[in-house]
Structure 1
């Protein structure tokens, strides 16, 4: 279920003194959860961008398959505003866990690393799910055109999005250029070559996926910004429709 659906039964126990930590892929879950609360009773929202390799082995059971890092921070807090004590305690507890290799970041940098992770997920996850391959196979020459098209669309959407938020400077524009994002995706594919993406695991297990919060966000925001997002729209529909392809057959 979505985060909002999962939290709905707990609403009587949550208040402005609560802290909710989001660790899922994509963008949009925080807004859906925030809509469950009145303005005066919003909890504190933290988000963690996790690059560790993890795969499920059953209910409440997972294997830590690849060591990487974790970045955690407030979703939207002024640099001059302190976190409430409960949120600070949760943050410090996670930061103190050595195996997590966690780093605290501010809200602006959290947005940037969230968007970078989104691009990696928007390429690797749907392609591994559609073609039923591990991450490293996304670098197969037969997928080069698709991979680059997904990156290019996401890059244009993100640059337009950050420009609209008035947080786009020259350094950030370069950070989200198609060339740099493409190199980042390739590095992730190499570093996690033997891993099976969370989206591939979900479709193989017959579960719902996070594609609506990943490629779905690219498509929705792209339409709002007047950006062409046809390739992301195609893979979004294929994953949601449970379509499968063989490498070399195209979409």
Structure 2
């Protein structure tokens, strides 16, 4: 199986390297390539060891059928990225969405209902050290699934063999909701406070807000029919904070780098659910509006 990968950020490159280690054919899809550019050299360092990879690259506008597509762009880029290669996809193509947040799959289904989507979530950690230089910052668990699919598909073997902890999840929506709820309690607060994750537990005022966000997300999840996903949420969130105490959340990294955040697909999605089910979640909405105002000031 030959995988094409949309998303040359830290996580897309990390997963490309993991596939390449297993000799699985792949091509990185770039918005544009330099004249006669056909490959790049990718360096990986960190918890999975040091390695170098010569990977094929191709412009999104290139020709040729895509049978297996991994999408690991920012959440707000998922639909534009898939649309940029839609002429290369068929109803039989497998499109695996492993971006952060919830909501982009529905956008694709509305705009391109013929496409076959698989969904995933990961807690692997990585960041970019320089051009085509990636630091694998933390091992994590990856869960992949597909609605209305009971049998594990043959293509999943590529992922099971490439990642140290990867599972086919027949309840993938619950896994996505669990990660969403955790992100809602950690990311915006750390981004607005400009603090590492550990401070959300060590500072009493911030810890109180984390607990309040957990309570709100529990009510929203229960109303949305995701009771299992939000069961014991507060305990799980503080476990994640402890395990990632020295880390800066992806949202804080985006703010620091002057990039758009994925707030509309994290707390924004939670807010839309709260409105839909008439659940009061004022702190989530307050943080959402604060991040949106910050972004509007930077991206008018």
Residue number among 148, 162, 176 corresponding to 2:230 in the alignment: 176
User: Is the 2:181–2:230 Cα contact (8 Å) retained in structure 1?
Assistant: no
The residue number in structure 1 matching 2:255 is 203
1:102 aligns with 2:166: yes
Task: Assess if the C-alpha contact under 8 Å between 2:144 and 2:167 holds in 1.
Answer: yes
Retained in 1: the 8 A contact 2:214–2:234? yes
CA distance in 1, matches of 2:149, 2:162: 26
1:31 shift after superposition: 0.5
Q: Which has the higher contact order (CA 8 A, sep 6+)?
A: 1
Q: 1:64 aligns with which of 129, 136, 153?
A: 136
Q: How does 1:1-251 map to 2 (within 5 A)?
A: 1-37=76-112, 39=113, 41-42=114-115, 44-58=116-130, 60-74=132-146, 76-79=147-150, 83=153, 88-89=154-155, 91-99=156-164, 101-106=165-170, 109-139=171-201, 140-162=203-225, 172=228, 176-177=230-231, 180-242=232-294
- Contact 1:53/1:195 (<8 A) preserved: no
Residue-pair matches, total: 219
**Higher alpha-carbon Rg:** 2
Q: Deviations over 1:11-35 (max 9, x none)?
A: 2112211111111221101011112
**How big is the shift at 1:187?**
0.2
Change beyond 3 A, Cα 1:61–1:238: farther
- For 2:121, what is the secondary structure of its paired residue? strand
- Consecutive unaligned residues of structure 1, counting only runs of 5 or more, are 244-251
Contact 2:123–2:142 (CA<8 Å) still a contact in 1? yes
Q: Tell me if the contact between 1:25 and 1:121 (Cα under 8 Å) persists in the aligned partners.
A: no
Whether the 8 Å CA contact 1:55–1:198 is kept in 2: the answer is no
Q: Using the alignment, how far apart are the partners of 1:97 and 1:225 within structure 2?
A: 40
Q: TM-score, normalised by structure 2?
A: 0.69
The 3-state SS of whatever aligns with 2:294 is: coil
On the 8 A contact 2:152/2:168 being kept in 1, the answer is: no
Distance 1:192 1:133 in 2: 12
Secondary structure of the structure 2 residue equivalent to 1:190: helix
The Cα offsets for residues 200-222 of structure 1, whole Å up to 9 and x where unpaired, read as 11111111111111111111010
**Aligned residues of 1:133 and 1:196 also touching (Cα < 8 A):** yes
TM-score for both structures, normalised by structure 1: 0.81
> Can you give the 5+ residue segments of structure 2 that lack an aligned partner in the other structure?
1-75, 296-300
Aligned-residue Cα RMSD (Å) equals: 1.8
Q: Whose helix proportion is higher, 1 or 2?
A: 1
